[in-house]
Structure 1
Amino acid sequence: MCSFMPKNHCLPLRVWCICGSRRLSAFLVELGAPMMVASTATGMGADGIVRYGDAGERTVVAAGRFAFEEGDDGAQALLRLLPPLVHAPAGDAGNTPLAALLPLVGMETSTLAPGAGVAASSLANLVLVQILRAHMASTPQPPGWLGAMADAPIGRALSIMHGEVSRRWTVDDLARAVGMSRTAFSTRFRERVGLPPLDYLTRWRMTLAAAALRTGVDSLTAIAEKVGYGSDTAFSNAFRRERGISPGRFKARAASVGDALQNTSRRLVARTA
Structure 2
Amino acid sequence: MDILTEAVASMRSESPRTARTECRAPWGLRFHEATGAAFHVVLAGSCWLVRPDGSSLALAAGDVIFLRSGAEHALTDDPDSPATDFRPDRTDRTSPIGRFAIDGPGARTVLLCGSYHLDQERPHPLVAGLPEMIHLPARRDRHHALRAAIDMLGAELDDPRPGSDGIVGELIDLLLLYILRAWLDDQPADATAGWAAALTDPAIAPALRAIHRDPGRAWTVESLADSAGLSRAAFARRFTGLVGEPPLTYLTRWRMTTAARLLRHSDTPIAVVGERVGYGSEFAFAKAFKRAHSVPPGQYRRRAGAAS
TM bucket (normalised to shorter chain) is: 0.7 to 0.9
1:231-246 pair list within 5 angstroms: 231-243=281-293, 245=295
Displacement of 1:85 after TM fit? 1.3
**Structure with larger RCO (C-alpha < 8 A, sep 6+):** 2
1:113 to 2:161 alignment: yes
Structure 1 residue corresponding to 2:268, chosen from 186, 193, 218: 218
Sort the Cα spacing of 1:109 and 1:64 in 2 relative to 1 into closer, same or farther, 3 A. Answer: farther
Q: Which residue of 2 aligns with 1:266?
A: none
**Mapped partners of 1:241, 1:48: distance in 2:** 43
Sort the Cα spacing of 1:69 and 1:202 in 2 relative to 1 into closer, same or farther, 3 A. Answer: closer
Q: TM-score, normalised by structure 1?
A: 0.73
1:33 to 2:72 alignment: yes
RMSD between aligned residues: 3.5
**Mapped partners of 1:87, 1:13: distance in 2:** 14
Displacement of 1:190 after TM fit? 0.7
**Mapped partners of 1:142, 1:134: distance in 2:** 19
Deviation per residue, 1:184-243 (Å, 9 max, x gap): 211100111222111210121112223333457222211111112222233234334444
Deviation larger for 113-122 or 231-240? 231-240
**Mapped partners of 2:198, 2:260: distance in 1:** 23
Q: Which residue of 2 aligns with 1:251?
A: 298
**Mapped partners of 1:193, 1:104: distance in 2:** 35
Sort the Cα spacing of 1:111 and 1:51 in 2 relative to 1 into closer, same or farther, 3 A. Answer: farther
> Secondary structure at 1:228's aligned position in 2?
coil
Instruction: State, as a whole percentage, how many aligned pairs show the same letter.
Output: 31
1:43-58 pair list within 5 angstroms: 48=99, 50=101
Q: Which residue of 2 aligns with 1:84?
A: 132
Deviation per residue, 1:119-172 (Å, 9 max, x gap): 112212332212112222334459755653243432332122111111222223
**Mapped partners of 2:288, 2:300: distance in 1:** 18
**Mapped partners of 1:178, 1:94: distance in 2:** 32
Instruction: In structure 1, list runs of 5 or more residues that go unmatched.
Output: 41-46, 263-273
Deviation larger for 86-95 or 222-231? 86-95
> Secondary structure at 1:11's aligned position in 2?
coil
**Which amino acid letter does the alignment assign opposite residue 202 of structure 1?**
T
**Mapped partners of 1:28, 1:142: distance in 2:** 24
More helix by share: 1
Deviation per residue, 1:43-69 (Å, 9 max, x gap): xxxx9574756887x754222222235
> Secondary structure at 1:68's aligned position in 2?
coil
